[in-house]
């Protein structure tokens, strides 16, 4: 299964930036949670990127600025080995704001892919939203909207109700309320400032590795 790049421009306002790479290493094992559902669909972890997998850096446009958060590689490995699809969904309003270009974004995304690959890890897919309502109007993809999650679910055969939504902002978690999964806030990035008023249905983890532990202990 492949997610086609949006060239020529897709009618859809969000852009799947990387090919789906449902490689052998990411397929659920025979006893993994991906094989348990009556639906035959895989559970996923929908992951925010900035402040969740890599260190928050405002409008990151330089691949040299990619810094994996300690424990992130181990967390992603654990989740992959448990049969979860790893899907990055990232708001990149810096593109709408003129702070970086789509090409800048793709260079950063490629660096992250390379860094993860050096640890034997492959994301199943990465989606980004380049919009911001003040600059490009409303869109169906900017989190907390669910356009990216829905696109990924359709393309990859995911089960949102069996999935987790992890990030350092409330808006990373809110799609869980609409789609039926579970949300976990991480305290990295902006997360420590997001705890006030967080709906009680969401869990809080110190970082992505802690979040992975919460997911795997269920
Ligand atoms: Mg973030």
Number of Cβ within 10 Å of residue 145's Cβ equals 20
- Separation of CA 71 and ligand 1 centre (Å): 16
The CA–CA distances, whole Å, from 83 to 30, 31, 78, 115 equal: 9, 9, 9, 21
d(CA 13, CA 18): 16
* Domain ranges, ordered by start, for the chain: 40-105+122-196
Closest CA to 87 of 32, 41, 44, 121: 44
All residues with CB under 5 Å from ion ligand 1:
48, 50-51, 168, 189
What pTM was estimated for this model as a whole? Answer: 0.85
> Cα 149 vs. chain centroid, distance in angstroms?
9
- Please tell me the least confidently modeled range out of 23-37, 44-58, 151-165: 23-37
Quote the CATH superfamily of domain 40-105+122-196.
Answer: HAD superfamily/HAD-like (3.40.50.1000)
pLDDT digits (tens, 9 = 90+) for 163-217: 999 999 999 999 999 999 999 999 999 999 999 999 999 999 999 999 999 999 9
């Amino acid at each position: 299964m492949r997610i086609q790049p949006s060239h020529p421009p897709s009618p859809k306002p969000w852009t799947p930036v990387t090919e789906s790479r449902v490689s052998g290493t990411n397929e659920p094992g025979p006893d993994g949670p991906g094989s348990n559902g009556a639906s035959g669909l895989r559970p996923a972890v929908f992951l925010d990127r900035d402040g969740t997998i890599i260190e928050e850096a405002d409008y990151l446009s330089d691949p040299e600025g990619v810094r994996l958060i300690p424990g992130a590689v181990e967390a992603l490995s654990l989740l992959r080995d448990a049969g979860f699809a790893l899907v990055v969904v990232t708001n990149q309003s810096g593109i709408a704001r003129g702070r970086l270009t789509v090409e800048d974004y793709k260079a950063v995304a490629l660096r992250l892919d390379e860094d993860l690959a050096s640890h034997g890890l492959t994301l199943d897919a990465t989606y980004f939203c380049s919009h911001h309502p003040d600059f490009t109007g409303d869109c169906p993809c900017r989190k907390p909207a669910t356009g990216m999650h829905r696109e990924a679910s359709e393309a990859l055969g995911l089960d949102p109700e069996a999935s987790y939504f992890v990030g350092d902002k409330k808006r990373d978690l809110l799609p869980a309320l609409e789609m039926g999964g579970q949300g976990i806030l991480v305290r990295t990035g902006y997360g420590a400032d997001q705890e006030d008023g967080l709906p009680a249905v969401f869990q809080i983890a110190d970082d992505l590795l802690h979040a992975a532990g919460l997911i795997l202990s269920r």
